[in-house]
Amino acid sequence: MQHRSTTIHENIARITAIIPHVKLIVVSKQRPIEDIQAAYSCGQRRFGENKALELADKYKVLPKDIEWHFIGHLQTNKVKHIAPFISLIHSVDSLKLMEAIDREGLKNNRVIDCLLQFYIAKEETKFGLDETEAIEILESESYKNHLRHTRIIGVMGMATFTDDVKEIKREFATLKKIFERIRQKYFSTAPFFRELSMGMSADYQHAITEGSTMVRIGTDIFKRDYIV
Ligand SMILES: *Cc1c(COP(=O)(O)O)cnc(C)c1O
């Protein structure tokens, strides 16, 4: 018989051992508080959620030194629930959203770090920008002259859910190229622009090979439901 939190510890230890230079975001969406506490008790401080209200509820009851990451599609009217404490929003996919985050940053007297989310997969269901849309944001009057309470520190993307390793690697390599081009053109003097958030349970090893700096892993950490 095995205790559930022991399994969470083992999974985190196994994963961190093979990703030493990459930041692990433990994706705790739909997981109970106890699971997050189990991961926290073995030293994990970065957690990712994809629903603003669920995240705000968890924030209230969990230790305040947790670094919270927002990884889902974010509606502009939900930004206010996470703006006071969010560490990084991975999923900026429009200027309108970025402006809403900036307004909430101003209200909370802080600068909110963001990633531009790119659409790199072959699936219709995934959100994100293409390179032209990203450039429209970066060249916009609003972004250049008015947004002072948001900061873009990199890019994020999700590969197609497939067994085709070549395709997965191609998509991650595409995101890395987009990242490099944007860095060169808009952030060449900005050392903070350095994050490449790519890789989930099924594909993080390929993402790391292609240059990921942050992996977002849920299932592979919480999957085994052993009961005492
Ligand atoms: C759920 C989710 C993850 C984690 O996926 P797993 O397969 O459970 O590791 C990562 N990124 C995003 C954007 C997600 O929604």
State yes or no: pLDDT of 6 exceeds 80.
Answer: no
Q: What is the pLDDT of residue 24?
A: 98
Question: If you average pLDDT over residues 18-27, what whole number do you get?
Answer: 94
Between 23 and 125, the higher pLDDT residue: 23
Summarize the confidence of residues 132-156 as an average pLDDT.
Answer: 97
What pLDDT is stored for residue 123 in this prediction?
A: 82
Chain-centre distance of CA 181, in angstroms? 20
Tokens of 204: 């993080």
What are the DSSP E strand ranges found in 31-188?
Answer: 46-49, 67-70, 88-92, 112-119, 150-158
Instruction: Give the burial string for 112-127 (b: 16+ CB within 10 Å, else e).
Output: bbbbbbbbbbeeeebe
Q: Is the pLDDT of residue 134 over 80?
A: yes
H or E element in which residue 216 lies: strand 214-217
Q: How confident is the model at residue 225 (pLDDT cuts 50, 70, 90)?
A: low
Q: What is the pLDDT of residues 74-131, one digit of tens each?
A: 999 999 999 999 999 999 999 999 999 999 999 999 999 999 999 999 887 778 999 9
Ligand 1 closest atom vs CA 216? 10
Bridge partners of 89?
70, 114
pLDDT above 70 as % of the chain: 96
Q: What is the pLDDT of residue 213?
A: 98
- pLDDT tens-place string over residues 156-204: 999 999 999 999 999 999 999 999 999 999 999 999 999 999 999 999 9
pLDDT at residue 227 is higher than 80: no
CA nearest ligand 1 atom 15, residue: 72
Nearest CA to ligand 1 atom 10: 216
How far is the C-alpha of 93 from the C-alpha of 130, rounded, in Å?
9
CA distances from 186 to 89, 144, 175, 181, 190 (A): 19, 11, 16, 8, 8
Pocket (CB within 6 angstroms of ligand 1): 27, 29, 50, 71-72, 158, 200-202, 216-220
User: H or E stretch including 176?
Assistant: helix 165-186
Given this model, what pLDDT does residue 224 score? 64
> Which residues on neighbouring strands pair with residue 195, listed in sequence order?
154
- 226 pLDDT higher than 70: no
What is the reported pLDDT for 228? 45
| 114 CA from centroid of ligand 1 (Å) | 18
Q: From atom 12 of ligand 1, which residue's Cα is the shortest distance away?
A: 71
**How far is CA 47 from each of CA 43, 63, 74, 88, rounded to the nearest angstrom?**
12, 12, 17, 10
Average pLDDT across the chain, whole number: 95
CA-nearest residue for atom 7, ligand 1, is 201
